[in-house]
Amino acid sequence: MTALPPLPYDTPADEHDLAVMRQQLGRDMRGVVSIARRCGCGRPAVVRTAPRLEDGTPFPTSFYLTLPWLTLVLSRLEATGAMAELTDRLSGEEGLAAGYRRAHERYLARRAEIGEAEEVRHVSAGGMPTRVKCLHALAGQALAEGPGVNPVADRVLAGLDGVIPELVCRCESAEAGAGPDPEARGEGEAR
């Protein structure tokens, strides 16, 4: 196998990152290999994740989106039916479909760099190679790899404010208005 170019934004994860992710997710992030992409403020945005977690569970989502504000933006987009629309476009646009299949192969090749799990050997993420099932997983790959690797995710991200080419931090507004933890949200309102 030809070696892939290094992930352009990849940095080590330290104890502080683990603490921030715990805050972002409301639980410990498992299987952390490195931080594949950061928010403009430096907080983890996409975590490179081991194909097998500490407890032995195979874990196909090798690029896991943890950034609350972007997670929310993508969830809202999913709620509008964006996935069905994009899946339809895959059957209509040959070039897009071919690029999406290459993104699937790239996903598996990236995973092979850090290990393997037989159960998910041919499974990438987000519905690849033929369907669009999770924008968060696809965005994770596109943010980690940079533009030109996942054409479907590139289209999605290009339609969002302040995501391409750099992630402009919106962490504070997410905490104030729509954080993942209802208790934390209550505190925000009380201030």
Q: Applying CB under 5 A, which residues contact Zn ion?
A: 39, 41, 43, 169, 171
Q: Apex CA 10: angle with CA 20 and CA 5, to 5°?
A: 165
Nearer to Zn ion, 36 or 83 (CB): 36
Least gap, CB of 89 to Zn ion (angstroms): 31
Nearer to Zn ion, 111 or 170 (CB): 170
Which residues touch 87 (CB under 8 Å, ≥6 apart)? Answer: 127, 131, 132
Least gap, CB of 49 to Zn ion (angstroms): 20
Least gap, CB of 125 to Zn ion (angstroms): 23
Nearer to Zn ion, 39 or 142 (CB): 39
Least gap, CB of 67 to Zn ion (angstroms): 7
Euclidean distance between CA atoms 163 and 165, whole angstroms: 6
Nearer to Zn ion, 70 or 132 (CB): 70
Tally Cβ neighbours within 10 Å of residue 94. Answer: 9
Residue 137, both tokens: 């997983």
CA of residue 169 relative to chain centroid, distance: 16
